[in-house]
Amino acid sequence: MDRSEFRQGVRDVLPLLLGVIPFGFVAGLATVNAGLGLAEAVGLSTIVFAGAAQLAALDLIGRDAPLAIVVVTAVVINLRMLMYSASVAPYFQDISNRLKATVAYLLTDQAYALTIARYRSEDSAHSVAYYFGVAATLWAVWQLTTVAGVVLGTNVPESLGLEFAVPLVFLALLVPAMEDSPTTVAGILGGITAVGTAGLPLDLGLLVGATAGIVAGRLTEVAMEGASNGN
């Protein structure tokens, strides 16, 4: 394991923790609100380890929703990771199966966004150590902050809206991801479609918006290639 790449991963993820810390805190708080305790909070954060799905599941559990609905909702929210998995897979083709399983378990929005940005830069060594520096730090902070949320969370006024820090983190990652015209089209159309379909059940709006954005981006690219070829 390349230590300097690992340390670089840890350094790069530090600014993102400002968004992850309140997110984990809110996830711990939501566990208490749903009528569950510390054991369930730790169980969710270690076994599921997916913040948005944890929050949605806890909301439904608290309202005594049918268990099948809770499962389907959490899975649909996490389906975006299928795209992340496909996107990073080429870089992890040659590592052992045990490492692949660990990489997969630790795969999150933030770990994906940072790693793919690093691996796509021209001078990157595509070191798996960089990924683990990012992802393991996120894992440890997530566990600590969900526990803190359970223990201390009842004292934070809900009106502060700490959960708003979560989309702000994604926003800061979104801007560099819109690196040229086709990716900018993908972002704008994906976002607008997701807003328009936000009322769909099971949080399907996220998947619909993301798919619309990807298709729009690809079509834009094809159209631009056609134009530059004089067709």
Partner 1 sequence: MATSYAAPAIWGLIVVIGVLTFLIRVSFIGLFGYLDEIPPEITRTLRFVPAAVLAALVLPSFITLEPGTGGIAVDKLIAGGIAGGVAWRTENVFMTIGAGMGTLWAVRFVLLPLI
Q: How far is the CB of 39 from partner 1 (least distance, A)?
A: 9
Q: How far is the CB of 123 from partner 1 (least distance, A)?
A: 19
Do residues 88 and 112 lie in contact, with contact meaning Cβ atoms separated by under 8 Å? yes
Q: List the structure tokens of 22.
A: 């309140």
Burial class (CB in 10 A: 0-12, 13-18, 19+), 180: exposed
Nearer to partner 1, 5 or 88 (CB): 88
Q: How far is the CB of 214 from partner 1 (least distance, A)?
A: 4
Q: How far is the CB of 180 from partner 1 (least distance, A)?
A: 10
3-state class percentages of the chain: helix first, strand second, coil last, to nearest 5: 85, 0, 15
Helices 80-88 & 109-120 angle (0-180, nearest 10)? 30
Q: Please, which residues have CB within 8 angstroms of residue 2's CB and are 6 or more apart in sequence?
A: 125, 127, 129, 130
Q: How far is the CB of 119 from partner 1 (least distance, A)?
A: 12
Nearer to partner 1, 3 or 98 (CB): 98
Nearer to partner 1, 3 or 160 (CB): 160
Q: List the structure tokens of 194.
A: 């997701």
Strand residues in the chain grouped as ranges (E): none
Phi, psi of 178 (to 5 degrees): -90, 75
Nearer to partner 1, 176 or 201 (CB): 176
Nearer to partner 1, 66 or 230 (CB): 66
